[in-house]
Structure 1
Amino acid sequence: MTSADARYALQASLFDDASFGVELGELGPTVQRRTLTAGAWVDVRPGWLTGSDELFTTLAETVPWKAERRQMYDRVVDVPRLVRFYPEGEPLPDPLLVAARDALSRYYLPELGERFATSGLCFYRDGSDSVAWHGDDTGRSRTEDTMVAILSLGAARPLLLRPRGGGHSIRYSLGHGDLLVMGGSCQRTWEHCVPKSTRPLGPRISVQFRTRGVR
């Protein structure tokens, strides 16, 4: 699959006006941190990228999306979303993603101690696309603190977090240029998911920036 199907076209948001340009906002005081348990935390910066619906359309139409399949018990099933991973050194599909990665690296470098290196894109076409409870704990993040920054484009979808193994969940509605960063021990002590929905929902693209050796 080389582009998004026309039926997954985004309904533009009245609050994400690109008439003044598509640009990243400031971080700093605009970032809201929530401390979780066991050394985990979450930062949120609503509307970090203004005019983000324009970037959504570009990525939906130009990224060479892949439909993956996986083994589940005794059968192979479709992964309920489209994906594309950009390893370190591979050019990103739009200069705005380079600018976002570099801005996050500059802002978080004193705390993180390294730069963001890879980018993973997920395309949630409608409410039937989802990702189950998990932590990005493959590689160094299984034993080390790290950060995963998520830039959400397109229609807002819930992202839920809960302590690993279960417990009360925290809900964020992310879309149209919102930024969420999971830090500290979050990937190994908490889990996150994007649940399915029976309600009509527009498409969303999630851009995940990670450090070297984390998936």
Structure 2
Amino acid sequence: MQQDLFLLKYRNLLPYQGEVGFYDGFLAQEVADLFFKLLEDQVPWKQEPIWMFGKKVMQPRLTALFGDPGVTYSYSGIEMKALDWIEPLAEIRQRLKAHTSVDFTHVLLNYYRDGKDSMGWHRDNESSLGKNPCIASVSLGATRNFQIRHYESKSNKIDIPLNHGSLLIMAGESQHFWEHQIPKTKKELGPRINLTFRKLI
């Protein structure tokens, strides 16, 4: 697999059943600063309702989807139609392709306004992502703690600070056997933009 060539460069953070690679300096600080400002200003952010435990609630963050035309993306009861690529996202996509050799087709953006915004435990295992998807997560803005744990045993929890300009790759069987979240925090934090690039089939 193409992403395996990327993951060979980095220590696998998972003990078994999947691969997670982390690169803290994917974007230089001044480049990450520029992308953060451009995306904060240019993306039409929305707060969407989702189904959780049989109830419809508003997501504790803002979102947007960009990608190739003709394919929608669905999760948690939401069906999102991709907006056309804008220049900052297209450039990051090209940087990721050069870095990983993966042709990502879409990017889901999450805007965390402060420490109260979050993402609960979940797996990116929708059928539209294929059997063993490669997810490339680029972080911009405030550092947030990314947590991953084994889905069945809820053990082997790993904490990874996702810094400004960092890149996290989840690949192989990771979405079958591991779940991840961005928990709330009481710390005074500025905003964060997370870009999760994926290849829809």
Scaled to the shorter chain, the TM-score interval is: 0.7 to 0.9
Counterpart residue identity of residue 68, structure 2: E
Alignment check: 8 A CA contact 2:146 2:180 kept: yes
Report Cα offsets for 1:155-195 as digits up to 9, x if no partner: 10011111113112111111311011001111111111000
Correspondence for 2:151: 164
Secondary structure (helix, strand or coil) at the match of 1:55 reads: helix
Seen in structure 2, the aligned counterparts of structure 1 residues 29 and 185 have a Cα distance that, compared at 3 Å, is closer
Identical-pair percentage:
34
Q: Which runs of 5+ in 2 are unaligned?
A: 70-82
Letter in 2 for 1:34: N
Q: What SS does the corresponding residue of 1:58 show, helix, strand or coil? A: helix
The TM-score with structure 1 as length reference comes to: 0.76
Measured after TM superposition, the shift of residue 73 of structure 1 is 4.4
Change (3 A) 1:196 1:115: same
Q: How far apart are the structure 2 equivalents of 1:71 and 1:36?
A: 30
For 1:101, the equivalent position in structure 2 comes to: 93
Alignment TM-score, normalising by the size of structure 2: 0.80
C-alpha distance in 2, partners of 1:140/1:37? Answer: 27
Q: Which has the larger radius of gyration?
A: 1
Instruction: Please point out which of 106, 114, 137 is paired with 2:125.
Output: 137
Q: Deviations over 1:77-108 (max 9, x none)?
A: 21000000113235323x34223222323443
| Shift in CA distance, 129/28, structure 1 to aligned 2, threshold 3 Å | same
Aligned positions, number: 181
> 1:134 is aligned with what amino acid?
H
2:44 is the alignment partner of 1:64: yes
Whole-Å separation in 1 of the counterparts to 2:8 and 2:176: 27
**C-alpha distance in structure 2 between counterparts of 1:163 and 1:28, whole Å:** 23
Q: Structure 1: any 5+ residue segments left out of the alignment?
A: 1-26
1:53 pairs with 2:33: yes
Aligned partner of residue 42 in structure 1, secondary structure: strand
